[in-house]
Structure 1
């Protein structure tokens, strides 16, 4: 206690001394608070740094006018409503991924079933995992889809809309491809075979073509 008082300021000392100690007295260990497992990774640290930075590659999302324009762009796409709803949920990070289900204590294991390596979070599912990376590369869509640049799906779309200024048709294809990845993941969890990347792309383009022929 004396050592703590010597090192820290009075307010910090009171906070430290108020922390309850475990009666089991387990051995001390370092925990990184920004991953589910408590383990430090360079990727997670980079994402934390991005979230704290006042200026990122995708620009600040705090401006009310830009926020309004962002959501106007999302909701006014020429895409099926199910894809719009998916896009909104992905931007809010409320898709029932295995990570989110584990946070709600629905699942115990959040490991991605496609790669068996990393937790199945939204960013992993839509661009970090091997199959989505292959899908985006096969699509020929001209932007860098490596996950380390983007904090989340909203940050990705924000970057595409306000920094890359992609046109509406390309943006519609991107979110529809993402929906098809999510649909493929759900069908696979129910026992269907996993679709290869070229089938996912074909399905996305067909959905857009049929929707736009029927509505415009």
Structure 2
């Protein structure tokens, strides 16, 4: 099944029972438990000394559940600024306070008149990294209650798989010693922070195994195989764990000493450890004919080799870099754009797209309305919007696209977007717990005012006109609204030939 620690797996299963009590409070079991163990307050704050074995098991699962739950902000009245999990980074809480403050609820940080964050107030009490993350959290334009969700799933719904991974990560953190973090949010940078090391998938996997003490060193082999000794087979001086294999063993020391004449060793430890592990395996399992001098050549060559730059034409949609091979530029320019499919007669079609740059956290959106003949009815765009990710920016694009051109949507409309998760959440009948839940509530409210509508997910290449308009808003003019036309520099997708269905 893929589970290596049944104790942690049982912990995750108990957390699932606590999640059900938390999200289905009207069930018979939840009402009985609440009446007996936490008649005042909620499950998260429940604490009982003398309880049944059943409730003690739920409390054990609740410990894990508290580390992974997060509040999705609606009106902010149910969330405590300093105690609850509501920041979607790091340990999910605010790090520290810059000054003493009497503010308690997240609702105190929201400007009610404009339905936006009070930036001045937030920056006065929060450190800059936390303030930036708070300002990226989307807020609804209506008064809706806060929603609790599971942080480690995109859908916001609890899963035993992600809970097990969280329990395993916590277990590994408890076993690690002497590790600190300089990050304000308590997080740690990824293992492959060296530019030379990021392209090596094999090296990244090695460092992950080294950090989690899951390398096939003699100490780990001795736990599983009865005939194995934990002593190092190369030097025989002490039991071989991960630290000994890459730092204390004689061959690892020789490599580290030899490399001191060529670079600053402390700055390139990841590469050095990976090569030391290669030497260890070569001696034990091969002929051991790999000299230290050969490793010096390999390591110095890896550092001096230029890092492949990302070509501009490989940036897809202005959101993330794509690893899909692209055809030559002359072929790409000559490839025709897909035809725009006509809606039914009497219907309109609204194409919406977003442009997002993850490095800066800035995005833009564009929306175009066309009738069944392909003629533009209106267009709107805006830029300079902060968002945590591309999915949130896509949700903002749909909301603002409908809102800005609501006066033009006097007929049934087909709304097309290329974000599959957004369309799935909008068409789902159960309440959403995703990070875009406030935006989904606003979109659902706007859709109620339309005569009729359909939501469709289309391929990215079939939505290029809206994408070009979003890029226009991000690079050029920040915002605009036109009736009956689009910007002159925008090239609309060709309209598919008229058939018998659309003409009659």
More RCO (CA 8 Å, sep 6+): 1
Report which of the two has the higher share of helix.
1
Output the TM-score relative to the length of structure 1.
0.50
Question: How high is the TM-score relative to the length of structure 2?
Answer: 0.23
Larger radius of gyration: 2
